[in-house]
Structure 1
Amino acid sequence: MRYSGLRVIKEALTGHKGWKHAWRDVEPKVQYDYIVIGGGGHGLATAYYLARNHGAKKIAVLEKGWVGGGNIGRNTTIVRSNYLLDGNEPFYEHSLKLWEGLEQDINYNAMISQRGILNLVHSDAQRDAFVRRGNAMILNGADADLLSTETIQKRYPFLNVNNARFPIKGGLAQHRGGTVRHDAVAWGYARAADQLGVDIIQNCEVTGFRIESGKCLGVETSRGYIGGGKVASCVAGSSGRLMAKANMRLPIESHVLQAFVSEGLKPVLP
């Protein structure tokens, strides 16, 4: 089923009886060619692009909870490519370009809004750092716009540019940046991956790995053993804990991040 405005109108006029489940509720098979651990944005995107771009078959995504219920549903919603280092900026710029065509690609409303992102300058040293970052962005093909205090005051009159503690001395804007509803991204990728034959298995926690002669043969799960030709770990902050079950110590640490995020409201019709 393809989603469209006409489809919404048709279903509204016929009692919404034609909608189908976004993806299948399947039992795990004994063996897959690819097992992707983690049903968040990274895991579902990995499975989707394996199937779409590389023609891979027999793919399973294993999610210990439900799709959209993990880290992807609890983040800051910002999409951007305003980074400094040459090793980072091209990666995030490619990511932003994927965001720009994602909804058409997966035929799902992920609520992507390119309303722009503005980082404010509060000191002379910060201005120098933002000038450097903006130039690095431009050199790597991204958009960057260094704004003066006067421009910011004109565009955003609700900001107090003369605050004694945090005076606004300018800002670095990326107009292609914006926001997205990340749990909807997970649902959209899940639906699109399912249509390509990917099995999405929820409530299936990986409890161990079956490794013989240095090769991973599959995973032990709360729903039994599942064999896999290749196994991918896409579990974000749980990576270290998961890979410890395979006797691998990753050179990374996970830290709790707290962020205050206001909820975007749709326009209200009078």
Structure 2
Amino acid sequence: MPATPDLRKSYDVVIIGAGGHGLATAHALATTWGVRRIAVLDKGYLGGGNTARNTAIVRANYLTPEGVTFYKESMSLFETLSQELDFNIMYTRKPHLTLAHTDASVRTMRWRAEVNKHLGVASELIDEAKVAAIEPCLNMSRDVRYPILGALHHPVGGTARHDAVAWGYAIRGAQAGVEIHQLTEVTGLRVEGTRVRAVETTRGTIEAGQVVQAVAGASSLMARHAGLRLALRTVPLQACVSQPLKPVINSIIVSGSLHCYIWQSQRGELVMGGAVDPYPLWSTRSTLDFKEGLMAHMLELFPFLAEVRMMRQWAGMADMTPDFAPIMGKTPLDNYYIDAGWGTWGFKATPVCGKRMAECVATDTQPDILKPFRHDRFTHFDQVGEAGAASVGS
């Protein structure tokens, strides 16, 4: 990356947050729309927030037409992202299995499969025999609390190296003129009428033509500086990895009933996670309670893991909306744009978010694909209801 120059007094676009979404938006603004005076600000370091704390899963098997359409485009962009950035993001195809343990969840998986197929996304409901054939190590016994009755099979799921995605966008963006200012905390926004005139930071005040907020778990706090109230609740989301093992799990396996998921990385680690913590908190600490609960569920699915040791545990801050869908695009302020509400599924949206948020900023219009996720949908009771976002449906 080229050296970062001194902070200027003004920029055409200021992006708050140097995570995957902020960097992808900056990259698209510079390379697609020809915007040259762009500053990306972060109170920490490049890609050090939720981008560095997720579990790198990519999929498009959502529940609503709006969600499926959005993530279908994101997956198509992931397929060629290494070539576009000339940087290996280690994108790997992996089948995705969302397990069904009850008759109700079987009906929901059938519903999701039909929505997916209608919109051109490979997805189907499979029975127990096919689940066992794809994942021989799964415990298919009926003598457990939640027996496996079938699964939603998404053969085109995948994973990507999360920090490599951030680095790739940062390097190519910086080469196109984007300035990435780390350790530069935004402390306030200077609002005059219906416009944000300047961004106040720990390194001085910057005048801005347009401002994009992409700060994940801190979204509601940052929006307050702009005088906006977001329909968000921030809760910790924890994950962990085991010691490396020889290849044993072929797919990404998710259980909504057990609130857990698992896949095996290229290094052999078992990457595991579960539901968000049940209380709001702006913290990235790990807890014993999460670890104990998750391991109980994992051993129901894979009893042979009983002697495997956990190697590393961490947490991120998930910004959850009432309808489990993001908040994207224009706001009541003329030149302030929001990218928030990603909860547990923000990483897999990185390429499409950068592409479409850049379009929104450059044209000052809400792209059609982002209209369902507009800021004011909660006041108009026009919610999306993307329960498939957390790999469950109701």
- TM-score, normalised to structure 1, is 0.86
Matched, 1:67 2:46: yes
Residue of structure 2 equivalent to 1:123: 102
Aligned residues: CA RMSD = 1.6
Which amino acid is 2:15 matched to?
A: V
| Larger relative contact order (Cα-Cα within 8 Å, sequence gap ≥ 6) | 1
Contact residue 110 and residue 124 of structure 2 kept, 8 A = no
Contact residue 61 and residue 112 of structure 2 kept, 8 A = yes
Q: Per-residue deviation at 1:252?
A: 2.2
Query: Cα distance 1:142–1:215, how it changes in 2: closer, same or farther (>3 A)?
Result: same
Residue of structure 1 equivalent to 2:234: 254
Contact residue 43 and residue 182 of structure 2 kept, 8 A = yes
Higher mean alpha-carbon deviation, 254-263 vs 227-236, is at 254-263
Contact residue 95 and residue 154 of structure 2 kept, 8 A = yes
Q: Per-residue deviation at 1:148?
A: 1.8
Residue of structure 2 equivalent to 1:265: 266
Contact residue 25 and residue 201 of structure 1 kept, 8 A = yes
Q: Per-residue deviation at 1:223?
A: 0.9
Query: Cα distance 1:257–1:266, how it changes in 2: closer, same or farther (>3 A)?
Result: closer
Q: Per-residue deviation at 1:251?
A: 2.5
Q: Per-residue deviation at 1:150?
A: 1.1
Higher mean alpha-carbon deviation, 64-73 vs 164-173, is at 164-173
Q: Per-residue deviation at 1:36?
A: 0.5
Matched, 1:104 2:83: yes
Residue of structure 2 equivalent to 1:14: none
Contact residue 24 and residue 200 of structure 1 kept, 8 A = no
Which amino acid is 1:253 matched to?
A: R
Q: Per-residue deviation at 1:206?
A: 0.4
1:196-249 deviation line (CA, Å, top 9, x unaligned): 110111110100112223321120101111111001101112111011122222
Q: Per-residue deviation at 1:261?
A: 5.0
Structure 1: distance between partners of 2:5 and 2:78: 29
Q: Per-residue deviation at 1:145?
A: 2.6
Contact residue 103 and residue 110 of structure 1 kept, 8 A = yes
Q: Which of 125, 129, 139 is 1:146 aligned to?
A: 125
Consecutive unaligned residues of structure 1, counting only runs of 5 or more, are: 1-21
Contact residue 191 and residue 198 of structure 2 kept, 8 A = yes
Which amino acid is 1:265 matched to?
A: Q
Higher mean alpha-carbon deviation, 36-45 vs 146-155, is at 146-155
Residue of structure 2 equivalent to 1:46: 25
SS in 2 for 1:173: strand
Q: Which of 119, 137, 144 is 1:158 aligned to?
A: 137
Which amino acid is 2:147 matched to?
A: P
Matched, 1:172 2:152: yes
Structure 1: distance between partners of 2:120 and 2:241: 29
Consecutive unaligned residues of structure 2, counting only runs of 5 or more, are: 243-263, 269-394
Q: Per-residue deviation at 1:23?
A: 4.3
Residue of structure 2 equivalent to 1:89: 68
| Counterparts of residues 148-227 of structure 1 (less than 5 Å) | 148-163=127-142, 164-227=144-207
Contact residue 68 and residue 184 of structure 1 kept, 8 A = no
Structure 1: distance between partners of 2:216 and 2:90: 23
1:148-201 deviation line (CA, Å, top 9, x unaligned): 211221222111111522212111111111112212211111011111110111
Residue of structure 2 equivalent to 1:5: none
The structure with the largest strand share of the pair is: 2
SS in 2 for 1:162: coil
Which amino acid is 2:100 matched to?
A: V
Structure 2: distance between partners of 1:216 and 1:192: 28
- TM-score, normalised to structure 2, is 0.60
Which amino acid is 2:160 matched to?
A: V
Structure 2: distance between partners of 1:112 and 1:59: 28
Contact residue 62 and residue 112 of structure 2 kept, 8 A = yes
Residue of structure 2 equivalent to 1:33: 12
Residue of structure 2 equivalent to 1:16: none
1:49-92 deviation line (CA, Å, top 9, x unaligned): 11122111111101111012111100121111110112211011
User: Percent same amino acid among aligned pairs?
Assistant: 42
Contact residue 23 and residue 195 of structure 1 kept, 8 A = yes
Q: Per-residue deviation at 1:42?
A: 0.8
Q: Per-residue deviation at 1:253?
A: 2.2
Answer with 1 or 2: which has the greater Rg. 1
SS in 2 for 1:82: coil
